[in-house]
Protein backbone atom coordinates (compact mmCIF):
# COMPACT_ATOMS: atom_id res chain seq x y z
CA UNK A 1 0.00 0.00 0.00
CA UNK A 2 2.56 2.59 1.12
CA UNK A 3 4.85 3.89 -1.58
CA UNK A 4 8.51 2.90 -1.80
CA UNK A 5 11.48 5.08 -2.73
CA UNK A 6 11.86 4.97 -6.52
CA UNK A 7 8.08 4.82 -6.88
CA UNK A 8 6.35 7.53 -8.88
CA UNK A 9 4.08 10.18 -7.37
CA UNK A 10 1.39 11.62 -9.64
CA UNK A 11 0.62 15.31 -9.19
CA UNK A 12 -2.39 17.10 -10.68
CA UNK A 13 -1.55 20.71 -11.38
CA UNK A 14 1.69 22.18 -12.63
CA UNK A 15 2.08 25.55 -10.90
CA UNK A 16 4.65 26.55 -8.32
CA UNK A 17 3.06 24.37 -5.66
CA UNK A 18 3.35 21.36 -7.95
CA UNK A 19 6.93 22.32 -8.78
CA UNK A 20 7.90 22.49 -5.11
CA UNK A 21 6.14 19.17 -4.45
CA UNK A 22 8.21 17.63 -7.26
CA UNK A 23 11.43 18.95 -5.75
CA UNK A 24 10.49 17.57 -2.32
CA UNK A 25 9.64 14.18 -3.78
CA UNK A 26 12.98 14.10 -5.60
CA UNK A 27 14.88 14.65 -2.33
CA UNK A 28 13.20 11.49 -1.09
CA UNK A 29 14.23 9.44 -4.13
CA UNK A 30 10.80 9.48 -5.76
CA UNK A 31 9.98 10.08 -9.39
CA UNK A 32 7.08 12.33 -10.30
CA UNK A 33 4.53 12.55 -13.08
CA UNK A 34 2.87 15.95 -13.44
CA UNK A 35 -0.53 16.22 -15.14
CA UNK A 36 -1.58 19.74 -16.04
CA UNK A 37 -3.55 21.46 -18.78
CA UNK A 38 -1.03 24.23 -19.56
CA UNK A 39 1.99 23.41 -21.73
CA UNK A 40 4.20 25.95 -19.95
CA UNK A 41 3.51 24.65 -16.44
CA UNK A 42 6.48 25.39 -14.14
CA UNK A 43 6.35 21.90 -12.62
CA UNK A 44 7.01 20.24 -15.98
CA UNK A 45 10.62 21.52 -15.87
CA UNK A 46 11.49 19.17 -13.01
CA UNK A 47 9.16 16.20 -13.40
CA UNK A 48 10.39 12.88 -14.81
CA UNK A 49 7.07 12.38 -16.64
CA UNK A 50 4.72 15.05 -17.99
CA UNK A 51 1.21 14.95 -19.35
CA UNK A 52 -0.45 17.98 -20.88
CA UNK A 53 -4.11 17.13 -20.51
CA UNK A 54 -7.51 18.43 -19.51
CA UNK A 55 -8.87 17.36 -16.11
CA UNK A 56 -11.88 15.79 -17.78
CA UNK A 57 -9.87 13.77 -20.32
CA UNK A 58 -10.43 10.31 -18.85
CA UNK A 59 -8.21 8.57 -21.36
CA UNK A 60 -5.29 10.83 -20.45
CA UNK A 61 -6.08 10.46 -16.73
CA UNK A 62 -6.09 6.68 -17.04
CA UNK A 63 -2.73 6.66 -18.83
CA UNK A 64 -1.38 9.00 -16.13
CA UNK A 65 -2.70 6.80 -13.32
CA UNK A 66 -1.14 3.70 -14.88
CA UNK A 67 2.36 5.20 -14.48
CA UNK A 68 2.09 6.28 -10.83
CA UNK A 69 1.79 4.66 -7.41
CA UNK A 70 -0.08 7.42 -5.59
CA UNK A 71 -1.84 10.59 -6.71
CA UNK A 72 -2.13 14.03 -5.13
CA UNK A 73 -2.91 17.56 -6.31
CA UNK A 74 -1.52 21.02 -5.86
CA UNK A 75 -4.82 22.86 -5.68
CA UNK A 76 -8.36 22.30 -4.50
CA UNK A 77 -10.21 23.18 -7.67
CA UNK A 78 -9.63 19.83 -9.31
CA UNK A 79 -13.11 18.76 -10.45
CA UNK A 80 -14.66 16.35 -7.94
CA UNK A 81 -15.42 13.97 -10.81
CA UNK A 82 -11.71 13.84 -11.70
CA UNK A 83 -10.74 12.96 -8.14
CA UNK A 84 -13.48 10.37 -7.96
CA UNK A 85 -12.45 8.77 -11.27
CA UNK A 86 -8.77 8.59 -10.25
CA UNK A 87 -9.70 7.15 -6.85
CA UNK A 88 -10.93 4.08 -8.68
CA UNK A 89 -7.52 3.62 -10.24
CA UNK A 90 -4.92 4.57 -7.62
CA UNK A 91 -4.78 5.87 -4.03
CA UNK A 92 -5.62 9.59 -4.06
CA UNK A 93 -4.65 11.81 -1.10
CA UNK A 94 -6.15 13.96 0.27
CA UNK A 95 -9.27 11.89 -0.36
CA UNK A 96 -12.01 13.06 -2.72
CA UNK A 97 -14.46 13.63 0.16
CA UNK A 98 -12.08 16.03 1.93
CA UNK A 99 -11.80 17.85 -1.38
CA UNK A 100 -15.58 17.95 -1.73
CA UNK A 101 -16.08 19.48 1.74
CA UNK A 102 -13.46 22.17 1.25
CA UNK A 103 -14.07 23.18 -2.35
CA UNK A 104 -17.57 24.38 -1.50
CA UNK A 105 -17.59 27.31 0.94
CA UNK A 106 -21.08 26.45 2.16
CA UNK A 107 -20.33 22.80 2.95
CA UNK A 108 -17.02 23.90 4.51
CA UNK A 109 -18.81 26.32 6.84
CA UNK A 110 -21.40 23.67 7.71
CA UNK A 111 -18.60 21.19 8.46
CA UNK A 112 -16.86 23.70 10.74
CA UNK A 113 -20.14 24.46 12.47
CA UNK A 114 -20.70 20.77 13.08
CA UNK A 115 -17.37 20.71 14.95
CA UNK A 116 -18.35 23.77 16.98
CA UNK A 117 -15.52 25.78 15.44
CA UNK A 118 -16.29 29.52 15.22
CA UNK A 119 -16.61 31.09 11.78
CA UNK A 120 -18.06 34.31 10.42
CA UNK A 121 -21.89 34.23 10.35
CA UNK A 122 -23.05 33.04 6.94
CA UNK A 123 -26.10 32.29 4.79
CA UNK A 124 -26.32 30.39 1.52
CA UNK A 125 -27.48 32.44 -1.48
CA UNK A 126 -29.00 30.86 -4.59
CA UNK A 127 -30.55 33.87 -6.30
CA UNK A 128 -30.94 37.64 -6.06
CA UNK A 129 -33.95 37.32 -3.76
CA UNK A 130 -31.96 35.04 -1.50
CA UNK A 131 -29.23 37.63 -1.40
CA UNK A 132 -31.67 40.32 -0.21
CA UNK A 133 -32.90 38.01 2.58
CA UNK A 134 -29.30 37.11 3.48
CA UNK A 135 -28.26 40.77 3.73
CA UNK A 136 -31.26 41.46 5.94
CA UNK A 137 -30.04 38.66 8.23
CA UNK A 138 -26.26 39.30 8.24
CA UNK A 139 -26.27 43.08 7.91
CA UNK A 140 -23.81 45.28 6.06
CA UNK A 141 -20.95 45.22 5.36
CA UNK A 142 -20.87 41.58 4.31
CA UNK A 143 -18.93 39.59 1.74
CA UNK A 144 -20.58 37.68 -1.07
CA UNK A 145 -18.49 34.76 -2.32
CA UNK A 146 -19.12 32.11 -4.92
CA UNK A 147 -19.40 28.72 -3.23
CA UNK A 148 -16.81 27.21 -5.57
CA UNK A 149 -13.60 28.02 -7.45
CA UNK A 150 -12.63 31.10 -5.47
CA UNK A 151 -9.01 31.86 -4.54
CA UNK A 152 -6.86 34.95 -3.93
CA UNK A 153 -9.94 37.17 -3.75
CA UNK A 154 -11.36 35.90 -7.03
CA UNK A 155 -15.08 35.17 -6.90
CA UNK A 156 -15.91 37.54 -4.06
CA UNK A 157 -17.12 41.06 -3.55
CA UNK A 158 -17.94 43.33 -0.60
CA UNK A 159 -21.53 44.42 -0.03
CA UNK A 160 -21.73 47.87 1.56
CA UNK A 161 -24.43 50.44 2.24
CA UNK A 162 -25.99 51.30 -1.11
CA UNK A 163 -24.66 48.28 -3.02
CA UNK A 164 -27.05 47.15 -5.76
CA UNK A 165 -27.66 43.57 -4.66
CA UNK A 166 -28.96 42.25 -7.98
CA UNK A 167 -26.00 43.75 -9.83
CA UNK A 168 -23.56 42.31 -7.30
CA UNK A 169 -25.07 38.87 -7.66
CA UNK A 170 -24.84 39.07 -11.46
CA UNK A 171 -21.20 40.27 -11.23
CA UNK A 172 -20.31 36.91 -9.68
CA UNK A 173 -21.96 35.08 -12.56
CA UNK A 174 -25.25 34.45 -10.75
CA UNK A 175 -23.54 31.35 -9.36
CA UNK A 176 -24.47 29.72 -6.05
CA UNK A 177 -22.97 31.91 -3.36
CA UNK A 178 -22.50 32.35 0.34
CA UNK A 179 -22.90 35.64 2.18
CA UNK A 180 -20.50 36.02 5.10
CA UNK A 181 -20.49 38.60 7.87
CA UNK A 182 -17.29 40.57 8.38
CA UNK A 183 -15.14 39.44 11.30
CA UNK A 184 -13.46 42.48 12.92
CA UNK A 185 -10.10 40.77 13.00
CA UNK A 186 -6.84 42.28 14.21
CA UNK A 187 -4.68 39.52 12.75
CA UNK A 188 -4.92 36.97 9.98
CA UNK A 189 -3.09 33.78 10.86
CA UNK A 190 -2.80 30.30 9.44
CA UNK A 191 -1.89 26.87 10.68
CA UNK A 192 -0.10 24.63 8.22
CA UNK A 193 -0.13 21.04 9.40
CA UNK A 194 0.15 17.48 8.19
CA UNK A 195 -1.73 14.33 9.05
CA UNK A 196 -0.34 10.92 8.16
CA UNK A 197 -2.22 7.79 7.12
CA UNK A 198 -1.77 6.40 10.65
CA UNK A 199 -3.44 9.51 12.10
CA UNK A 200 -0.29 11.10 13.48
CA UNK A 201 -0.25 14.88 13.22
CA UNK A 202 2.46 17.54 13.01
CA UNK A 203 1.79 21.27 12.88
CA UNK A 204 4.12 24.13 12.19
CA UNK A 205 4.00 27.10 14.52
CA UNK A 206 1.20 29.56 13.78
CA UNK A 207 1.99 31.96 10.97
CA UNK A 208 0.79 35.56 10.71
CA UNK A 209 -0.21 36.75 7.26
CA UNK A 210 -0.56 40.07 5.48
CA UNK A 211 -2.51 40.35 2.27
CA UNK A 212 -2.46 43.00 -0.42
CA UNK A 213 -5.36 43.06 -2.89
CA UNK A 214 -6.50 39.69 -1.47
CA UNK A 215 -3.16 38.03 -2.29
CA UNK A 216 -0.74 36.94 0.42
CA UNK A 217 2.13 39.38 0.51
CA UNK A 218 4.00 38.49 3.70
CA UNK A 219 4.06 35.84 6.42
CA UNK A 220 5.81 35.90 9.78
CA UNK A 221 6.43 33.00 12.14
CA UNK A 222 5.68 32.84 14.97
CA UNK A 223 2.50 34.90 14.92
CA UNK A 224 2.29 37.54 17.65
CA UNK A 225 -0.38 35.69 19.62
CA UNK A 226 -0.99 34.93 23.25
CA UNK A 227 0.27 31.36 23.87
CA UNK A 228 -3.26 30.21 24.68
CA UNK A 229 -4.57 31.55 21.38
CA UNK A 230 -1.74 29.84 19.47
CA UNK A 231 -2.57 26.57 21.20
CA UNK A 232 -6.23 26.99 20.30
CA UNK A 233 -5.32 27.61 16.66
CA UNK A 234 -3.19 24.46 16.51
CA UNK A 235 -5.91 22.43 18.23
CA UNK A 236 -8.50 23.63 15.71
CA UNK A 237 -6.32 22.50 12.82
CA UNK A 238 -5.83 19.13 14.44
CA UNK A 239 -9.60 18.67 14.99
CA UNK A 240 -10.32 19.59 11.38
CA UNK A 241 -7.72 17.19 10.05
CA UNK A 242 -8.98 14.36 12.24
CA UNK A 243 -12.63 14.98 11.38
CA UNK A 244 -11.82 14.88 7.66
CA UNK A 245 -9.67 11.76 8.17
CA UNK A 246 -7.26 13.91 6.24
CA UNK A 247 -4.00 12.66 4.70
CA UNK A 248 -1.45 15.24 3.60
CA UNK A 249 -0.77 18.88 4.36
CA UNK A 250 -3.61 21.30 4.92
CA UNK A 251 -3.73 24.96 5.82
CA UNK A 252 -6.38 26.54 8.01
CA UNK A 253 -6.74 30.29 7.63
CA UNK A 254 -8.05 32.02 10.74
CA UNK A 255 -9.01 35.44 12.04
CA UNK A 256 -7.99 36.60 15.50
CA UNK A 257 -10.12 39.34 17.05
CA UNK A 258 -9.21 41.89 19.70
CA UNK A 259 -10.67 39.89 22.59
CA UNK A 260 -8.28 37.74 24.61
CA UNK A 261 -11.24 35.56 25.69
CA UNK A 262 -12.29 34.73 22.12
CA UNK A 263 -10.58 31.95 20.20
CA UNK A 264 -9.69 32.15 16.52
CA UNK A 265 -12.40 32.17 13.83
CA UNK A 266 -11.76 29.89 10.87
CA UNK A 267 -11.90 31.66 7.54
CA UNK A 268 -11.17 28.77 5.20
CA UNK A 269 -9.46 25.43 4.82
CA UNK A 270 -7.02 24.80 1.97
CA UNK A 271 -6.67 21.03 1.36
CA UNK A 272 -3.13 21.33 0.07
CA UNK A 273 0.28 22.88 0.64
CA UNK A 274 -0.15 26.60 1.10
CA UNK A 275 1.62 29.85 0.32
CA UNK A 276 1.77 30.70 4.04
CA UNK A 277 3.85 27.52 4.52
CA UNK A 278 6.57 28.39 1.99
CA UNK A 279 8.81 29.58 4.83
CA UNK A 280 9.19 25.94 5.91
CA UNK A 281 11.49 25.30 2.92
CA UNK A 282 14.20 27.33 4.62
CA UNK A 283 13.00 27.78 8.17
CA UNK A 284 11.95 24.32 9.35
CA UNK A 285 13.55 20.89 9.66
CA UNK A 286 11.00 19.41 7.24
CA UNK A 287 9.33 21.52 4.55
CA UNK A 288 5.55 21.46 4.05
CA UNK A 289 6.20 19.94 0.63
CA UNK A 290 8.23 17.05 2.01
CA UNK A 291 5.68 16.66 4.81
CA UNK A 292 2.92 16.29 2.21
CA UNK A 293 4.89 13.76 0.19
CA UNK A 294 5.68 11.75 3.34
CA UNK A 295 2.00 11.72 4.30
CA UNK A 296 0.60 10.65 0.94
CA UNK A 297 3.25 7.95 0.60
CA UNK A 298 2.24 6.43 3.94
CA UNK A 299 5.54 7.42 5.52
CA UNK A 300 6.20 8.93 8.95
CA UNK A 301 5.94 12.72 9.24
CA UNK A 302 9.08 14.74 9.82
CA UNK A 303 9.87 17.32 12.45
CA UNK A 304 8.04 20.64 12.12
CA UNK A 305 10.61 22.43 14.28
CA UNK A 306 11.65 25.93 13.23
CA UNK A 307 15.28 27.04 12.78
CA UNK A 308 14.47 30.53 14.02
CA UNK A 309 12.08 33.41 13.57
CA UNK A 310 11.06 33.60 9.95
CA UNK A 311 9.69 36.12 7.50
CA UNK A 312 8.52 35.21 4.00
CA UNK A 313 7.68 37.74 1.29
CA UNK A 314 5.97 36.90 -1.97
CA UNK A 315 7.40 38.26 -5.18
CA UNK A 316 4.31 39.35 -7.11
CA UNK A 317 4.39 40.48 -10.72
CA UNK A 318 7.18 42.92 -11.43
CA UNK A 319 8.59 42.52 -7.92
CA UNK A 320 10.45 39.51 -9.31
CA UNK A 321 12.69 42.01 -11.08
CA UNK A 322 14.38 42.52 -7.68
CA UNK A 323 15.80 38.98 -7.83
CA UNK A 324 19.43 40.00 -8.18
CA UNK A 325 19.30 42.50 -5.30
CA UNK A 326 17.55 39.90 -3.17
CA UNK A 327 20.22 37.30 -3.95
CA UNK A 328 22.75 39.79 -2.62
CA UNK A 329 20.78 40.48 0.55
CA UNK A 330 22.38 38.94 3.60
CA UNK A 331 20.60 35.79 4.71
CA UNK A 332 17.94 35.91 1.99
CA UNK A 333 16.72 32.57 0.65
CA UNK A 334 15.40 33.32 -2.83
CA UNK A 335 12.94 31.09 -4.66
CA UNK A 336 11.94 31.70 -8.26
CA UNK A 337 9.27 29.64 -9.96
CA UNK A 338 10.62 29.60 -13.51
CA UNK A 339 7.56 31.39 -14.94
CA UNK A 340 8.42 32.97 -18.29
CA UNK A 341 5.64 35.55 -18.34
CA UNK A 342 5.37 38.31 -15.74
CA UNK A 343 1.75 39.38 -15.14
CA UNK A 344 0.52 41.92 -12.57
CA UNK A 345 0.04 40.18 -9.22
CA UNK A 346 1.27 36.83 -10.54
CA UNK A 347 3.16 34.76 -7.97
CA UNK A 348 6.67 34.72 -9.48
CA UNK A 349 8.72 33.68 -6.46
CA UNK A 350 9.26 34.31 -2.79
CA UNK A 351 12.05 35.18 -0.42
CA UNK A 352 12.58 33.94 3.13
CA UNK A 353 14.65 35.32 5.98
CA UNK A 354 15.47 33.11 8.95
CA UNK A 355 16.77 34.85 12.02
CA UNK A 356 18.70 32.67 14.40
CA UNK A 357 21.29 33.93 16.84
CA UNK A 358 24.12 31.68 15.67
CA UNK A 359 27.25 33.49 14.53
CA UNK A 360 29.20 32.08 11.59
CA UNK A 361 32.91 31.34 11.56
CA UNK A 362 34.31 33.68 8.97
CA UNK A 363 37.54 33.16 7.11
CA UNK A 364 39.98 36.05 7.39
CA UNK A 365 39.35 38.74 4.77
CA UNK A 366 36.19 37.02 3.63
CA UNK A 367 34.42 39.29 1.23
CA UNK A 368 31.08 37.73 1.92
CA UNK A 369 29.22 35.37 4.11
Q: Which is nearer to a copy of itself, 270 or 293 (CB)?
A: 293
Q: Whole-number minimum distance, CB 8 to a copy of itself, in Å?
A: 10
Q: Which is nearer to a copy of itself, 245 or 303 (CB)?
A: 303
Give the whole-angstrom CA distance, residue 289 versus residue 210. 22
Kindly tell me the burial class for residue 340, based on how many C-beta atoms sit within 10 Å of its own C-beta (0-12, 13-18, 19 or more). exposed
Angle at 180 between CA 187 and CA 217, to 5 degrees: 35
Q: Whole-number minimum distance, CB 223 to a copy of itself, in Å?
A: 10
Q: Whole-number minimum distance, CB 145 to a copy of itself, in Å?
A: 29
Q: Running DSSP on this structure, what letter comes out for residue 213? A: T
Q: Which is nearer to a copy of itself, 156 or 287 (CB)?
A: 287
Angle at 197 between CA 195 and CA 201, to 5 degrees: 25
Give the whole-angstrom CA distance, residue 364 versus residue 349. 34
Q: Which is nearer to a copy of itself, 150 or 264 (CB)?
A: 264
Q: Whole-number minimum distance, CB 60 to a copy of itself, in Å?
A: 21
Asked if 144 and 172 count as a contact pair (C-beta separation under 8 A), the reply is yes
Q: Running DSSP on this structure, what letter comes out for residue 302? A: -
Q: Which is nearer to a copy of itself, 130 or 222 (CB)?
A: 222
Give the whole-angstrom CA distance, residue 155 versus residue 144. 8
Q: Which is nearer to a copy of itself, 30 or 165 (CB)?
A: 30
- Whose CA is closest to 330, among 278, 366, 364, 304? 366
DSSP output for 222-288: S-S--HHHHHHHHHHHHHHHHHTT--EEEEEEEEEES-TTS-PEEEEEESS--GGGTTHHHHBSS-H
Q: Whole-number minimum distance, CB 307 to a copy of itself, in Å?
A: 4
Give the whole-angstrom CA distance, residue 364 versus residue 369. 11
Q: Whole-number minimum distance, CB 128 to a copy of itself, in Å?
A: 43
Q: Which is nearer to a copy of itself, 8 or 87 (CB)?
A: 8
Q: Which is nearer to a copy of itself, 99 or 348 (CB)?
A: 348
Q: Whole-number minimum distance, CB 348 to a copy of itself, in Å?
A: 8
Asked if 335 and 351 count as a contact pair (C-beta separation under 8 A), the reply is yes
How many other CB atoms sit within 10 Å of the CB of residue 173? Answer: 11
Q: Whole-number minimum distance, CB 280 to a copy of itself, in Å?
A: 12
Amino acid sequence: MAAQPADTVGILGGGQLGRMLVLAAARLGLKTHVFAPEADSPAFDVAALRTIGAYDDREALARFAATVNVITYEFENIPAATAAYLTGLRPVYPAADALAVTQDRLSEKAFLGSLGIPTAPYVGVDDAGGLARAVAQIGRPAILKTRRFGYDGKGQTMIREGSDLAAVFRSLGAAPCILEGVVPFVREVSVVAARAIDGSFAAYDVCENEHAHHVLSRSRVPAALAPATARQALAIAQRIAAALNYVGVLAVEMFVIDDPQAGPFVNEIAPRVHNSGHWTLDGAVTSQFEQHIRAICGWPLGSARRHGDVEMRNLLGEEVGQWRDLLAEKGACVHLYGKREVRPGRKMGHVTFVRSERAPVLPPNSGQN
